[in-house]
Amino acid sequence: MDRLDNTVRPYAWGSPTAIPHLLGVEPTGEPQAELWMGAHPGAPSRTARGTLAEVIDADPERELGKEAVARFGPRLPFLLKILAAGAPLSLQVHPNLEQARAGYDDEERRGVPIDAPQRDYKDPNHKPELICALTEFDGLCGFRDPAGAADLLAGLGVDSLKPYVDLLGARPGDAALREVLTAILTADPDEMARTVAEAGAACVRLGGDHAPYAELAHHYPGDPGVLAAMLLNHVRLQPGEALFLGAGVPHAYLSGMGVEIMANSDNVLRCGLTPKHVDVPELLRVVRFEAGDPGVLRPEAAPDGEEVYETPIDEFQLSRYVLAAGGTAHDLTRNTPQILLCTAGSVRAGEHQLGPGHSVFVPAGEKAGISGAGTVFRATVRV
């Protein structure tokens, strides 16, 4: 079992205080957006044996187990994070596995540099993800019913939004959502900036259901993503609740801190709320224009006190243990790789004492027991 020394990513949208407070360290004044745990080449966790990527590369079957290597290859198939949003993240979608492979191969054939700002596909993998709230957590997830989106836009009283309101009422649901999103993302930039400014001012004045979009307009003045966001469901998670984001589902995180787990990929197609590249044709090809409930997840009880967040993905499985003082120890030994993350209290994992924000990597088959008083998240795979 290896104690992990993890990298904090200082993205501009990060909270300057949430992750430092969790770790019990002084804030630096700079944004602290994500704490990465895993073997991603961008910021692999460090251990006494080298980086976790180096440890796994040296003997994949020993570290990951034969079943995981056979199923997912000789790499840790997930990335675990603590995410702390102090400002909204970009509005985005992720491709499915077939789309990612085709897109990656196409850009490789065309010689698009992997670090080019206009590159869509950084790797041939999909990127489903799960976010579990540690604090109250606001986000956007999936499309609203078109009638609800029309009401939200109409309530602003902005004349230039009337064509979008009319479209939402004149077409079947998926066609209406496609036409309106396309119109928003391809509108004249100057006209759109004026519309967004007027819509943002109305959101400030109205508050209520419009309040989240006032915040978006404040952070991203003139960005068409502000209007695109109004087509989506606004979700407020309570601690312990989660969202699963599958392929093609538009989403954005707005504020709060959570534990996030995802397949090990960098593939992101952006809809807005960003200065980065937006590839409208490719985005429209990948987005699933399906309205519906965002589907808040709550953990399901399993034997031995484990609470499991069920998803249709095999590359990762997230669960948690809430340990009470004086309770019995839990044996977490299994034949797959694991990362154990403490988010509250003080717990013992093998020979390691963990406080909030501390984590360990457990190789496949290695004995893993936890005890103490606190909360432990377990990240692993299904084989």
Residues with catalytic function: 270
Question: Whole-angstrom Cα distance, residue 144 to residue 51?
Answer: 43
Residue found by looking up tokens 């649901």 in the block: 173
Listed in sequence order, the residues at least 6 apart from 62 whose beta carbon sits closer than 8 Å to its beta carbon are 363, 364
What is the greatest pairwise CA distance in the chain? 65
DSSP-derived pairing of the beta strands 300-301 and 307-309: antiparallel
Cite the beta strand spans of 315-364 per DSSP E: 317-323, 330-331, 338-349, 352-354, 359-362
Query: Six-digit token pair at 167?
Result: 């479209």
- Compute the chain's Rg from CA coordinates: 22
Q: 298 with 55: CB under 8 angstroms?
A: no
Three-state secondary structure call for residue 225: helix
Q: Is 18 helix (H, G, I), strand (E, B) or coil?
A: helix
Return the number of other C-beta atoms located less than 10 Å from residue 275's C-beta: 10
Given a contact cutoff of 8 angstroms between Cβ atoms, the answer to whether 63 and 55 are in contact is yes
Contact 383, 77 (CB under 8 A): no
Q: How far is CA 273 from CA 112, 160, 304, in A?
A: 24, 20, 43
Dihedral of CA 8/261/351/59: which sign? negative
**In Å, how far from its chain's centre is CA 235?**
14
Residues 6+ apart with CB under 8 A from 148: none
Distances (CA, A) of 96 to 81, 135, 204, 293: 21, 30, 37, 20
